[in-house]
Amino acid sequence: MNLKRMIFKRSIEILVVFFIILTGLFVLFHLAPGDPVSMMVDLTMTPEDVDRLVQQLGLDRPLWTQYLLYLKNFFRGNFGTSFHYGRPVIEIISERLPATILLFTTATILAAMAGVWCGKLIAWHKGGPLDATVTIFSLLCSTLFLPWIALLSIWFFAFRVGWFPLSGMITPEIWVLPNLGFWAKATDILHHLLLPLLTLCIVNTGAYLLIMRSSMLETIKEDYIITARAKGLTEKQVRNHHAAPNAALPVITSVGLSLAFSVNGGALTETVFSWPGIGRELIFAVSNSDYPLAMASFMFIALVVLVANLIVDILYAYLDPRIRY
Amino acid sequence: MPNMPLLDVQNLTIVYRTNAGPVIAAEDVCFTLERGRAVGIVGESGCGKTTIGMALMGLLPENGFVQQGRIIIEDTDLLSLTKPALRALRWKKMAMIFQAAMNALNPVHRVGDQIAEAIQTHYPDYSADKTRKEVAALFDLVDIPRNRIDDYPHQYSGGMKQRAVIAMALSCKPDLIIADEPTTALDVIVQDQILKKIKAFQDDMNIATIVISHDIGVVSEVCDNIMVMYKGRMIEYGKCEEVFMSPAHPYTVALLSSHLSLDSTYDFQADIENITEAPAASVLPGACGYAEKCRHADVQCFVQTPAWRHLSSTHRVLCLKVVTNDQ
């Protein structure tokens, strides 16, 4: 009951934030130098053609009419046509967005889970040789430059050892086969997914592990840990049932924060692995002044980050009853 | 033996390893406790009273260890037990009432579940339903409405939390309850209710109780005997009336007078000034730890190790200056 009210409240907040983002995007694109028309004009066009184009795009109307039109189009799911691809933008987005979500949410969830699990264990054996080794190794990993380690892992695992494909998300030769089953497709994607996933996890797990470790060390000092021990619980019960749920809370917060960054940094990762995601598409669209595509990419990335944060909030409230205000 | 004590603590000395070298937190502590009786341990912060409580639970911090002495509950020597054996005894034999204001309850679990957890640890054959009924009965016992079983600790008031902690301590029907500052963070009215509860359970269930407090008033309300500690040492032990009516150790006198009462004629101001600074238990020469601050101290007090003097069969004091009047 309380949780439901909280979810409702947060959803409304997210809608408001999204509306502000939409408005901000509109303003930004109108402030940006250059205009879409100049991108579409070529030498064969007469000035009348250009005027007609301006009219078609609605650029001759007052700004607020354009804004309303922009909102109307958004809610109708009409994002225009990509200049570069000549296809509806929504088609391109619906191809790219799932690839990004698949890679980054899986990587974030796996890294957070691994970090929580390892951090919990090494904090419990604080000061031992394992603690020192893992802590230093995690520090090292979390400072690695992702594209560098990505290139290195492609060179080694894909090129030298040949365990994984070099790039991309699917093997086109396989997918053109007429009666390819679901499992064959899934296996192919998984095969392509593993290497970028591994690389992202190597870099991200370290950070989560360090947060969990220090949070766990703080939690161990709490009085309810003494209570749990006094009750006669085993060390494992105390650790997993009393210390870890409290200690994991800062990790959840940091997952929420890092999601926004992972989509940004994701553009680099996607480029290195030729992963057909939305981050790479966004960079392409911006550098080629493909306005409709860039705008829609921004919108959907914002939407994904907002929804992910909502999920993180719900998870946090689920784990910490004090948050369910 | 007919009247064998439930708890027998003999020459208990507890040492903490610190970066500045070993620190003696409790030295040569001896006392016994029968079922249905209560002993209060009073003293200022850092005098070692909580350390004794933790040692009785086998919950000393990692850097603390028992250097010598024995803790015997019924026939079991606690210090000789293996970890699993000690875990099995915890809460079933000896339970602890923690100061609830210090987050003794885990904020992410329901209060009822935390109590049920204790029951199910020690009675694994109980069904979920039976455990639930036990928890409900415990809530009745400490006057918390049953519909609060599934609430979280942050939804409780301070007094309710404290009562929940008491319910938790009673959940496995222990023989010994150690109450560490059970009422410190509570207002006087709630404090009184809580003390009455503790007293009632001690009488009804024949539970032996150790009350640890810096507040001598709290101890006097619940306990039969009082142990006064200073810098890790027991300095006076006796029946409540004896210690209250005729305190022997100068520190006890000062401690009692700091507990304001209207008809006090004692010049406590001078003594309060003396005891305002509570040093940690780190300096422990063989001589009396209170000598530096004592108004009655002379050279002897600084050099000689004090020995116990008996004022009666139940009242003893660790002070060179006390004159035993009757013998």
Our measurement of the distance from residue B293's CA atom to the centroid of its chain's CA atoms, rounded to an integer in Å, reads 25
Question: Residue B211: which of B201, B192, B226, B197 has the closest Cα?
Answer: B226
**Burial classification of residue A112, based on how many CB atoms lie within 10 Å of its CB (0-12 exposed, 13-18 middle, 19 or more buried):** buried
Rounded (10°) CA dihedral B145, B148, B153, B155:
-100
Q: For position A166, what pLDDT does the model report?
A: 84
A–B interface: beta-carbon pairs under 8 A: 70
- The verdict on A319 touching B (C-beta cutoff 8 Å) is yes
Chain A residues inside the 8 Å CB shell of B121: 231-233, 237
Q: Which of B82, B99, B106 to mutate to test the interface with A (most CBs of A within 10 A)?
A: B106
Which residues on chain B place their C-beta less than 8 Å from a C-beta of chain A?
57, 59, 87-92, 95-96, 98-99, 102-109, 114, 117-118, 121-122, 152, 154, 168
Kindly indicate the confidence band of residue A30, based on its pLDDT and cuts at 50, 70 and 90. Answer: confident
Q: What is the mean pLDDT of chain A?
A: 87
Contact B236, B317 (CB under 8 A): yes
The answer to the question of residue B19 being in a domain is yes
CATH number of the domain residue B226 falls in:
3.40.50.300
Q: For position B30, what pLDDT does the model report?
A: 92
Shared-domain flag, residues B70 and B182: yes
Complex prediction ipTM: 0.84
Q: For position B287, what pLDDT does the model report?
A: 80
Least confident of A227-241, B166-180, B262-276: B262-276
Q: Which two tokens stand for residue B138?
A: 């415990």
Which of B122, B144, B173 corresponds to the end of one domain? B173
Q: For position B269, what pLDDT does the model report?
A: 57
Residue of B nearest to A221 (CA): B61
Residue B99 and residue B179: Cα distance in Å, rounded? 8
The answer to the question of residue B316 being in a domain is no
**Closest Cα of chain A to B108: distance in Å?**
5
Classify each residue of A3-16 as buried b or exposed e, where b means 16 or more C-beta atoms within 10 Å of its C-beta. Answer: eeebeeebeeebee
**Closest Cα of chain B to A115: distance in Å?**
21
Our measurement of the distance from residue A236's CA atom to the centroid of its chain's CA atoms, rounded to an integer in Å, reads 34
Residue B85 has pLDDT above 70, yes or no: yes
Phi-psi region of A175 (alpha: psi -120 to 50; beta: other; left: phi over 0): alpha
Domain residues for the domain of B69 are 7-82+176-282
Shared-domain flag, residues B180 and B273: yes
Count CB neighbours of A66 within 10 A: 16
Task: Give, in order, the Cα–Cα distances in Å from B248 to each of A111, B222, B252, B257, B284.
Answer: 65, 21, 7, 13, 21
Mean pLDDT of A113-118: 94
Chain B residues inside the 8 Å CB shell of A223: 98-99, 102-104
Residue of A nearest to B54 (CA): A230
Which of B143, B173, B203 corresponds to the end of one domain? B173
CATH number of A93-323: 1.10.760.10, 3.30.1330.40, 1.20.1250.20, 1.10.3720.10?
Answer: 1.10.3720.10
Tell me whether residues A232 and B107 touch, CB distance under 8 A: no
Residue B276 and residue B44: Cα distance in Å, rounded? 10
| Angle formed at CA A106 by CA A85 and CA A188, multiple of 5 degrees | 65
Least confident of A315-324, B9-18, B140-149, B283-292: B283-292
Shared-domain flag, residues B75 and B223: yes
Residue of A nearest to B156 (CA): A322
Shared-domain flag, residues B187 and B275: yes
Return the H-helix or E-strand segment holding B87: helix B83-89
Residue of A nearest to B56 (CA): A230
Shared-domain flag, residues B45 and B194: yes
**Closest Cα of chain A to B187: distance in Å?**
21
Shared-domain flag, residues B208 and B192: yes
Shared-domain flag, residues B78 and B140: no
Shared-domain flag, residues B254 and B105: no
Shared-domain flag, residues B151 and B207: no
The answer to the question of residue B323 being in a domain is no
Phi-psi region of A86 (alpha: psi -120 to 50; beta: other; left: phi over 0): left
- Domain residue spans of chain A: 2-75, 93-323
State how many domains chain B has: 2
Q: Which two tokens stand for residue A20?
A: 């502000």
The answer to the question of residue B320 being in a domain is no
The answer to the question of residue B105 being in a domain is yes
Q: Which two tokens stand for residue B39?
A: 């002993």
- Write the pLDDT tens digit of every residue in A121-147: 999 988 888 899 999 999 998 888 888
Shared-domain flag, residues B67 and B128: no
Shared-domain flag, residues B68 and B186: yes
More confident residue, B56 or A263: B56
Tell me whether residues B108 and A319 touch, CB distance under 8 A: yes
Q: For position B103, what pLDDT does the model report?
A: 86
- Write the pLDDT tens digit of every residue in A279-292: 888 888 888 888 88
Q: Where would I find the H helices in chain A?
A: 2-31, 36-40, 47-57, 63-75, 89-124, 129-143, 146-153, 172-175, 182-220, 223-230, 235-237, 244-247, 249-272, 278-287, 291-319
Residue B253 and residue A134: Cα distance in Å, rounded? 56
Least confident of A97-106, A187-196, A263-272, B200-209: A263-272
Mean pLDDT of B166-191: 88
Residue A91 and residue B62: Cα distance in Å, rounded? 62
Shared-domain flag, residues B41 and B153: no
Kindly indicate the confidence band of residue B262, based on its pLDDT and cuts at 50, 70 and 90. Answer: low
Rounded (10°) CA dihedral B207, B210, B215, B218:
10
Q: For position A115, what pLDDT does the model report?
A: 94
- Write the pLDDT tens digit of every residue in A42-100: 777 778 877 877 777 777 788 888 888 888 888 888 888 888 888 999 999 999 988 98
Handedness of CA B148, B153, B158, B164 (dihedral sign): positive
Kindly indicate the confidence band of residue B3, based on its pLDDT and cuts at 50, 70 and 90. Answer: low
**Closest Cα of chain B to A264: distance in Å?**
34
Question: Residue B34: which of B241, B204, B175 has the closest Cα?
Answer: B175
Residue B96 has pLDDT above 80, yes or no: yes
**Closest Cα of chain B to A138: distance in Å?**
27
- Write the pLDDT tens digit of every residue in B212-261: 998 888 888 889 999 999 988 999 999 999 998 888 888 888 888 776 55
| Angle formed at CA A204 by CA A199 and CA A208, multiple of 5 degrees | 150
